[in-house]
Structure 1
């Protein structure tokens, strides 16, 4: 798995996202929350991921967009370390549930903690 975040890997489609939130499980590494669902895609990817930041906590789009950029970058840089050897396909939605702005180091650290928690919950081997 390379270190890119291509269009084919992005979580899109209203039906899949609704199914993800209604049937999915979650893990938390505050201020991040991962909602995931084991599923099957037509595309040859193992993970489809999306990110979200609450408009309730961050009124300005500039703040929401910055946090989403940080989360996507932290995911992109670390996904190959965690998901090279997983056998199944998953849909991910990574939510920022904190109420204050953050920096890249914090997001990266928490993203790693979140991925470790996901692998532990799924009983998958750590990298």
Structure 2
């Protein structure tokens, strides 16, 4: 998997997003939260991801957009290390739940922790 975040990998379907929040599971690495759902897509994407920052915690669009850029970049740089050996298709929504601003170093570190937690939770045998 290459280090890019192409249009095909972006989560845009409203129906899928609604289904994701209704039926999806989640893992947390504060201030990030990952909601995911195993699904199937018509195209070749293995993972479709979206990011979101609360308007309640960050009133100014400039702040929200900056955090979303940081989260997308951290995801883009780290996804190849985590999803090269994955066979199922997943839909992801990465939420920023913190109340204060953050820098790229922190977001990237927490993104790694989040992806580790996701892989650990999904690799556990189901009872």
- TM-score interval (norm. to shorter): over 0.9
CA distance in 2, matches of 1:17, 1:122: 20
**Equivalent-residue separation in structure 2 for 1:72 and 1:13 (angstroms):** 18
Q: Secondary structure at the match of 1:63?
A: helix
Number of aligned residue pairs: give it: 124
1:9 aligns with 2:9: yes
Structure 1: runs of 5+ lacking an equivalent: none
> Does the alignment pair 1:78 with 2:62?
no
Structure 2 unaligned residues grouped into runs of 5+: none
TM-score, normalised by the number of residues in structure 1: 0.97
Q: Does 1:40 align with 2:40?
A: yes
- Deviation >6 Å, runs of 4+: none
| SS of match in other structure, 1:122 | helix
The separation in 1 between residues aligned to 2:60 and 2:108, in whole angstroms, is: 23
Residue matched to 1:25: 25
**2:44 is paired with a residue of what secondary structure?**
coil
1:115 and 2:115 matched:
yes
CA separation in 2, counterparts of 1:46 and 1:78?
A: 15
CA displacement at 1:13 relative to structure 2 = 1.0
**With structure 2 as the length reference, what TM-score do the two structures score?**
0.97
Q: Distance in 2 between matches of 1:101 and 1:118?
A: 24
